[in-house]
Amino acid sequence: MFRQSFRYGALAVAALLIALPAAAQDVGLVEKKVFAMPSYTTAGGKTIRDVKVGWESYGTLNANRDNVIVVPHFFSGNSHAAGKYKAEDAAPGYWNAIIGPGKPIDTGKYFVISVDSLANLNTKDPNTTTTGPASIDPATGKPYGMSFPIVTMRDFVNVQKALLDSLGVRKVHAAVGASMGALQSIEWASAYPDFVERLVPVIGGAEASAWVIGRLHLWADPILMDPNWNKGDYYGKTEPTAGLAVALKLVTLDAQHWAWADKAFGRKWADAAKDPAASFENKYQIQQVLDTSGAARARASDANSFLYLVKANHLFVAGHMGSLEEGLAKIKAKTLFLPAKGDLLLVPGYAQQAAEILKKQGKSAEVVEIAGDRGHLDGLFAIGSVGEPLRRFLDN
């Protein structure tokens, strides 16, 4: 019966992963907006002038202005969480599976908002607006480069809070984010405990462990070793795209799982006529795919911004209070952690650790694992599989 109902494996996987009600709909076409601040003072005490960040929203803000769900984005992402800009766009926003009318994050009930981070990686994407090292410093008329102030998850959240304040938002029903978005969501709940009612960190923990610091250090190294990086002074010159491409290859592979690689590529050659044993120029298929994707992503990205995001992740500990326990102690929100069972980067144990600390502090915290074979990326591609626990948590 099962085989007759799902004759094609892809359809079976899609049905299992998405698992959404029949009434669910897409949010449709969306608009990227820009929020501007005359100045912003960082957590480190440095002032940035003329701050601009992009943002998107889905659903309608209610009369009480308290039905808001904030969705901070992941390391290499932006605020395009759902919908399309144009009908002919190749793909919708990254969490389109769970954001929309009738979906777990139901835009018939909630006003969902996502904001491009400071130092966003995608500086050459016309649908991303950010202020970071590639931006023009009003004091000099030149790009900041590495003179841009160090920014943290607290800074990302504070800029988002300023946007919500400008909209008259009185309460955040939930902060829900994946990966670096999970870190920002936790920071939301710790920095503004009386403002955030629910917290859903997806594929993320409450501090950057030594393992994570080490992995991200390796991500940054290819950029620093590229002679074209020139200590961050490359704007208007040859950019360190070779180093950035290698960095993005590392990000891509670290975010996946070995089971995915074996299933998708195995030991296939990139070219059936070119045996890798015959020449160093001949590659396996996975090598070719990583090379191609890394180069393509590098063309839309900024190397200095990559380094600033690595630094922001390195510095993260909930609440930036000095200790994990102190930062989590400030949280009042009910919390649902959604780690990916096969995550090899931000392993499920990090979420379990944070949940246990919260419970010992007398807080409400639960953990539901996401199953799949995409590793860290199951938090994006398999998010529909935990749609119902997410829906119940948000609607309870």
Active site residues: 179, 343, 376
| Diameter of the chain measured on Cα atoms | 69
Q: Which residues lie below 8 Å from residue 253, measured CB to CB, with a gap of 6+?
A: 261, 290
Rounded distance between C-alpha atoms, residue 321 and residue 295, angstroms: 39
CA R_g for the chain: 21
**CA 238 to chain CA centroid, nearest Å:** 28
Cα separation, 335 vs 357, in Å, equals 12
Give the residue from 222, 216, 184 showing the smallest Cα distance to 200.
184
Rounded to the nearest 10 degrees, the angle between the axes of helix 210-225 and helix 241-254 is 150
Contact by Cβ (8 Å): 202, 176: yes
Q: At what angle do helices 241-254 and 285-299 cross, to 10 degrees?
A: 120
For 336-377, the DSSP string reads: EEB-BTT-SSS-HHHHHHHHHHHHHTT--EEE-PBP-SSGGG
Distance of CA 148 to the CA centre of its chain: 22
Q: Write the single-letter amino acid at 270.
A: A
Residue type at 124 in one-letter notation: K
Contact 348, 341 (CB under 8 A): yes
Contact 212, 298 (CB under 8 A): no
